[in-house]
């Protein structure tokens, strides 16, 4: 059933979707992409968004390196309405890699300079500023703050993930006191982000990092595990605290996993007997609770990019090493992601939701995005891998009415492979001068490590 992308028009894709019994739509009227979107007190000038895409390439202290500065300057030339900045650790021990972005009092000046410079670039080129949201994270089970060594901080044991993440029977799950101590830590990071010139922060709860795994901590004891109220308590408390300390003119966002595709009692959002089947009751309830807690912007994601079903997060043509080719067609994976966004948008009402899962559709992203916007199945068309491969896609669409096939992401998973090999990542295909040598070096290092 899996197939590589081989379509020359939206009509050809539509035929395929019909034969698969899917309902994906494409629209030739691209005007919805120009729609402004109100997020709390700010107007995003159009409906294209950059999804958070981490480069694993900050300075050792978390500050923006030359590669980080280059990435956000390229995005500033893209004319996006919303730039959702990559995962930024709130605390050293929660960094996913030793070069993960981290905003501190010591490097605040460097962040402020980059935010100012890139917003100014955008204003000078397009006459508007994008809305900037910084994703705040604690990597939990996937923490690797020094070198490549796992230093997992887990909310519960998980028989499937423990052996893959350096967790042993002797590992003690993080205490309630530790979890509670993170509330002011997130709030302090949010205040710093505000000082640096960001318009808001995202309290990240996706992809099975700490707050995401906590949503699924059915087997944890105490006030952060077991019942729905307990599993969502920390996320909601952090959001309320950020809202309280940052005030009314600051956006509080949340990117969360609607569906983990991971067996009960270790996953969130799936059927208790069939872990590949979505169960909407808890995700819908969470959307309502997030909105009641004061969230202004949402982005849904799904799956665990580190496990063996990465198509649930990002549909692809080729997989990274050791990952099986899925049985489902990439269009089925895309329809699932679009369906999640539609459900979250319907439930969230006037709170805008950023859609994802577009990159596999290449030059037909604008037509798919316009159809979803027109049907109110999302408020933003979010671009992940495409923002690495083709950072100025929106600018091209606004200028020429089309995305250029030869600049598009080809969903080859090489940027993911670099991450898995512990390198600094970007697009190996469309930005090959910079990233092909990094890819080779990281692969070489990983192969040497495997044979050592």
Nearer to ligand SF4 among residue 284 and residue 317 (C-beta): 317
d(CA 259, CA 34): 30
Residue 428 contacts ligand SF4 per CB under 6 A: yes
Query: What is the spatial distance between Cα 335 and Cα 152, in angstroms, rounded to a whole number?
Result: 33
- Contact (Cβ atoms closer than 8 angstroms) between residue 7 and residue 16: yes
Is 334 near ligand SF4 (CB under 6 A)?
no
Query: According to CB under 6 A, which one of 13, 22, 51, 79 is a site residue for ligand FMN?
Result: 51
Q: How far is the CB of 149 from ligand SF4 (least distance, A)?
A: 26
419 binds ligand FMN per the rule CB under 6 A: yes
250 binds ligand SF4 (CB under 6 A): no
Stretch that binds ligand SF4, among 15-23, 62-70, 264-272, 410-418 (CB under 6 A): 410-418
Report what 389 binds from ligand SF4, ligand FMN, none; CB cut-off 5-8 Å by kind: ligand SF4
Cα distances from 445 to residues 60, 146, 150, 331, 373, in angstroms, run 20, 17, 17, 34, 44
Return the H-helix or E-strand segment holding 119.
Answer: helix 108-126
Of 381, 283, 263, 268, which is closest to residue 340 (Cα–Cα)?
283
Task: Point out which residues pair with 101 in neighbouring strands.
Answer: 88
Residue with tokens 């993960």: 100
**Please, how many CA atoms are within 13 Å of residue 383, restricted to the half-sphere of its CB?**
33
Contacting residue, 160, 308, 429, 436, with ligand SF4 by CB under 6 A: 429
Member of 53, 192, 354, 389 binding ligand FMN (CB under 6 A): 53
- For 334, what's the count of Cα atoms within 13 Å in the CB-facing half-sphere? 27
Give me the least distance between CB of 442 and ligand SF4, in Å please. Answer: 12
- Residue whose C-alpha is closest to residue 195's, from 135, 109, 313: 109
87 binds, among ligand SF4, ligand FMN, none (CB under 5 to 8 A by kind): ligand FMN
Contacts of 185 (CB under 8 A, 6+ apart): 90, 91
| 258 contributes a contact to ligand SF4 by CB under 6 A | no
By C-alpha distance, which of 337, 284, 279 is closest to 310? 337
- In the list ligand FMN, ligand SF4, none, the entry touching 206 (Cβ below 5 to 8 angstroms by class) is ligand FMN
The length of the chain in residues reads 452
Q: Is 354 in the site for ligand FMN (CB under 6 A)?
A: no
Task: Please state the closest distance from residue 389 (CB atom) to ligand SF4, in A.
Answer: 4
DSSP string, 254-285: EEEEEE----TTS-SSB-SS-TTSB--HHHHH
Residue 442 interacts with ligand SF4 (CB under 6 A): yes or no:
no
> Which of 27, 135, 189, 320 touches ligand FMN by CB under 6 A?
135
Contact call for residue 389 and ligand SF4 (CB under 6 A) = yes
CB 182 within 8 A of CB 234: yes
Between 370 and 415, name the residue whose CB sits nearer to ligand FMN: 415
Site for ligand FMN in 203-242 (CB under 6 A): 204, 206
Among 52, 342, 355, 423, binds ligand FMN (CB under 6 A): 52
385 part of the interface to ligand SF4, by CB under 6 A: yes
Least Å distance between CB 429 and ligand SF4?
Answer: 4
**Distances in whole angstroms, Cα of residue 352 to Cα of each of 38, 50, 126, 346:** 8, 15, 23, 10
Among 37, 99, 410, 446, binds ligand SF4 (CB under 6 A): 410
Residues that bind ligand FMN (CB under 6 A): 51-54, 86-87, 135, 204, 206, 255, 301, 313-314, 356-359, 383-386, 415-416, 419, 425
Residues that bind ligand SF4 (CB under 6 A): 385, 388-389, 409-415, 427-430
């Amino acid at each position: 059933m899996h197939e590589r992308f081989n379509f020359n028009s939206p009509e050809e894709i539509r035929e395929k979707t019909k034969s698969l019994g899917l309902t994906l739509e494409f629209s030739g009227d691209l005007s919805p992409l120009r729609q402004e979107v109100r997020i709390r007190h700010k107007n995003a000038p159009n409906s294209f968004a950059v999804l958070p895409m981490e480069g694993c390439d900050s300075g050792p202290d978390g500050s923006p390196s030359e590669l980080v500065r280059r990435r956000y300057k390229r995005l500033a030339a893209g004319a996006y309405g919303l730039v959702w900045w990559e995962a930024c650790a709130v605390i050293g021990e929660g960094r996913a890699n030793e070069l993960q972005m981290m905003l501190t009092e010591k490097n605040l000046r460097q962040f402020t300079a980059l935010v100012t410079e890139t917003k100014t670039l955008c204003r000078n080129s397009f006459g508007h500023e994008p809305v900037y949201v910084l994703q705040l994270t604690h990597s939990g089970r996937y923490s690797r703050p020094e070198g490549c060594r796992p230093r997992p901080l887990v909310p519960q044991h998980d028989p499937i993930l423990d052996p893959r993440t350096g967790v042993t029977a002797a590992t003690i799950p993080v205490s309630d006191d530790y979890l509670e101590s993170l509330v002011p830590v997130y709030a302090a990071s949010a205040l710093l982000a505000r000082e640096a010139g960001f318009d808001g922060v995202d309290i990240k709860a996706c992809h099975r990092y700490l707050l995401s795994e906590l949503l699924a901590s059915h087997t944890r004891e105490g006030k952060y595990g077991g019942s729905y109220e307990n599993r969502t308590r920390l996320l909601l408390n952090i959001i309320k605290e950020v809202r309280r300390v940052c005030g009314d003119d600051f956006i509080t966002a949340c990117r969360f996993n609607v569906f983990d595709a991971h067996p009960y009692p270790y996953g969130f959002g799936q059927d208790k007997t069939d872990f590949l089947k979505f169960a909407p009751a808890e995700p819908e309830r969470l959307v309502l609770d997030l909105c009641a807690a004061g969230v202004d912007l949402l982005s849904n994601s799904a799956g665990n990019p580190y496990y063996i079903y990465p198509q649930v997060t990002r549909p692809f043509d080729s997989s990274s090493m050791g990952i099986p080719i899925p049985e489902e067609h990439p269009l089925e994976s895309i329809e699932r992601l679009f369906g999640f966004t539609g459900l979250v948008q319907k439930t969230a009402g006037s709170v805008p939701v950023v859609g994802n899962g577009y990159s596999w559709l290449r030059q037909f992203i604008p037509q798919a995005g316009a159809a979803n916007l027109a049907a109110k199945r999302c408020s933003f068309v979010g671009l992940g891998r495409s923002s690495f491969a083709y950072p100025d896609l929106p600018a091209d669409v606004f200028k020429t009415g089309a995305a250029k096939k030869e600049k598009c992401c080809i969903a080859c998973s090489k940027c993911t492979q670099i991450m898995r090999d512990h390198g600094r990542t970007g697009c190996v295909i469309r930005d090959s001068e910079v990233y092909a040598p990094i890819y080779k070096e990281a692969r070489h290092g990983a192969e040497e490590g495997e044979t050592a």
